[in-house]
């Protein structure tokens, strides 16, 4: 129930952003058009955003025949977590990372890069996939997937505001400087919404993943390895669609600046510290 409320708040906040940008683009008429667009995006995001994200990453579904060891690992963890078996995907990327998506546990999917299968040990990989299944069990995969697709739509609409100008509430041409500010600030506002939702969620998924796998230290080790690779081996799809980065277990984006300042992930060091405290029984 609480996550359903958070999803509703997220949709309302993004809809308000849409309407504000629409008002700049076309006054009252633009605001109403933006409202209709936002409602359509909310509907699309609820039903189809998981498929869109998987397509962005060119994820390929696998089964017990095509990836037997990995598939059986996910099946075992799903059973331990008392969850329905999710769809399982692999992404042909060298950088190690993983994410979960879907609107509920009955329509969930987990995806991992081929790089993570090569880099991590079996116990570390179990910790990572248990973390993703914890997202499924906590029912926050819908929130992350919707926020990713809606944040991308806000950025697109903000670019329209810049390049095609806009009108105020009386229909007069808006100041081009205002359009520039909207282009900068609207995606920033969307990122802040994502950040507020995502950071606490990662700590909870770490705790849940450690409980499902039964090995907090292995998950901590996996986070450290993934973080070290993330600094030098970018995921091209994440660089093209930075709004999806918050879905990953570790932020996959290269570089710092504003991307680092407004990261949707808590620091890996703090996550590792909490997991090691669990391992020590603290």
| Type and span of the H or E element at 98 | strand 98-102
Name which of 42, 54, 155, 187 is nearest 109 in CA terms: 54
Q: Does residue 245 contact residue 264 with C-beta atoms inside 8 Å?
A: yes
Active site residues: 132
Lookup: tokens for 272: 């590792």
Longest dimension (CA), the chain: 65
Closest among 97, 99, 108 to 132, alpha carbons compared: 99
Residues in contact with 54: Cβ distance below 8 Å, sequence separation at least 6, in sequence order? 89, 101, 109, 111
Residues 97/237, Cβ–Cβ less than 8 Å: no
Alpha-carbon gap, residue 53 to 126, rounded angstroms: 23
What's the Cα-to-Cα distance from 25 to each of 158, 162, 166, 176, 190, rounded to whole Å? Answer: 9, 9, 4, 11, 18
Q: Cα(154)–Cα(114) distance, rounded to whole angstroms? A: 31
């Amino acid at each position: 129930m609480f996550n359903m409320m958070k999803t509703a708040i997220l949709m309302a906040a993004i809809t308000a952003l849409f309407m504000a940008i629409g008002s700049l683009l076309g006054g009252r008429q633009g605001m109403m058009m933006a409202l209709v667009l936002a409602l359509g995006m909310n509907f699309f995001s609820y039903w189809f955003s998981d498929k869109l994200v998987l397509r962005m990453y060119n994820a390929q579904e696998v089964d017990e025949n095509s990836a037997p060891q990995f598939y059986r690992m996910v099946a075992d963890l799903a059973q331990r977590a008392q969850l329905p078996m999710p769809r399982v995907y692999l992404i042909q990327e060298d950088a190690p990372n993983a994410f979960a998506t879907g609107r509920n546990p009955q329509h969930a999917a987990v995806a991992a890069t081929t790089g993570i299968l090569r880099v991590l040990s079996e116990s570390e990989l179990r910790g990572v996939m248990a973390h993703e299944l914890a997202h499924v069990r906590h029912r926050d995969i819908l929130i992350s997937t919707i926020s990713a697709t809606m944040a991308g739509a806000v950025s697109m609409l903000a670019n329209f505001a810049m390049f095609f100008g806009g009108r105020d509430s009386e229909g007069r041409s808006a100041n081009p400087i205002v359009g520039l500010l909207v282009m900068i600030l609207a995606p920033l506002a969307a990122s802040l919404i994502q950040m507020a939702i995502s950071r606490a969620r990662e700590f909870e998924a770490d705790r849940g993943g450690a409980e499902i796998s039964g090995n907090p230290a292995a998950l901590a080790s996996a986070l450290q390895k993934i973080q070290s690779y993330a600094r030098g081996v970018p995921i091209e799809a994440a660089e093209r669609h930075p709004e999806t980065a918050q879905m990953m277990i570790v932020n996959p984006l290269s570089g710092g600046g504003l991307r680092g300042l407004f990261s949707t992930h808590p620091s890996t060091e703090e996550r590792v510290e909490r997991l090691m405290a669990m391992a020590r029984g603290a």
